[in-house]
Amino acid sequence: MKFAVIVFPGSNCDIDMFHAIQDELGEEVEYVPHTAESLEGYDGILLPGGFSYGDYLRTGAIARFSKVMGEVVKAGNAGVPILGVCNGFQILLEAGLLPGAMRKNRDLAFICKPTQLRVVNNNTMFTSNYEIDETITLPIAHGEGNYYCNEETLAMLKKNNQITFTYHVENPNGSLEDIAGITNAQGNVLGMMPHPERAVDELLGSADGLKLFQSIVRNWRESHVVNA
């Protein structure tokens, strides 16, 4: 499986994402600049965390208009697996690939620490290697991770089982219903604030994030065997 790590001006977790895929997962991966005009040849797309375009205007709001994002949207609509982490999640929201919006943290402070999550839905291409209700530990590092949506959207997320991860024990940022990660209705786009790419080896304090990447590869390969 071949992954693209999209690099925006201000990305700072692209190297972490590259390492997780190449060194821990053992899959092919390349950096793709925000100016790219095509994503053909890539089986999965990764939007890393950071401060794209300095977080000016609003997190993800400028990156959403990068040339490559037209191709990301096209790939998402075509069913290609797309993972957006932290700033990547914010960009996916701004691009309309995921519903809702991101607000400043409840305490208006940047938070950087390990956080416990609960796996709410393990029936997705991103979470199938986890157990339902499994508690995992992933780090967070954000100033605007307070997920919000209106009542109608929240009802839709629950009805379609689009909520994948929730904060467990402590909600660090005030996110609605403790939401830490959601998918689109089709199930091929996941946005999450915690960083799985920073938890792929016990030397980092947790290897719980590795299962997420393994889930992507497993489901991609199974779908391609079925369709072969």
Q: Residue 66 maps to which CATH number?
A: 3.40.50.880
% of the chain residues with pLDDT over 90: 96
Amino acid, res. 168: H
What pLDDT, on a 0 to 100 scale, did the predictor assign at position 57?
86
Query: Across residues 199-224, what is the average pLDDT?
Result: 95
pLDDT single digits (tens) 52-108: 999 988 999 999 999 999 999 999 999 999 999 999 999 999 999 999 999 999 999
Confidence of residue 228 (pLDDT cuts 50, 70, 90): low
What pLDDT, on a 0 to 100 scale, did the predictor assign at position 226?
64
Q: Range of 195's domain? A: 2-227
Confidence of residue 225 (pLDDT cuts 50, 70, 90): confident
What are the two backbone dihedrals, phi and then psi, of residue 195, each rounded to the nearest 5 degrees?
-105, 100
User: How far, CA to CA in Å, does 42 sit from each of 73, 94, 158?
Assistant: 14, 23, 31
* Catalytic annotation, pick one of 34, 71, 86, 168: 86
Active site residue 86: yes
What pLDDT, on a 0 to 100 scale, did the predictor assign at position 61?
95
What pLDDT, on a 0 to 100 scale, did the predictor assign at position 219?
96
DSSP string, the chain: -EEEEEE-TTB-SHHHHHHIIIIII--EEEEEETT-S--TT-SEEEE--B-GGGG-SSTTTTGGGSHHHHHHHHHHHTT--EEEETHHHHHHHHTTSS-SEEE--TTSS-EEEEEEEEE----STTTTTSPTT-EEEEEEEES--EEE--HHHHHHHHHTT-EEEEE-S--SS--GGGEEEEE-TTS-EEEESS-GGG-SBGGGTB-TTHHHHHHHHHHHHHHHHHH-
pTM of the model: 0.97
* Catalytic annotation, pick one of 71, 94, 144, 197: 197
Q: How many domains does the chain have?
A: 1
pLDDT single digits (tens) 119-175: 999 999 999 999 999 999 999 999 999 999 999 999 999 999 999 999 999 999 999
What pLDDT, on a 0 to 100 scale, did the predictor assign at position 227?
62
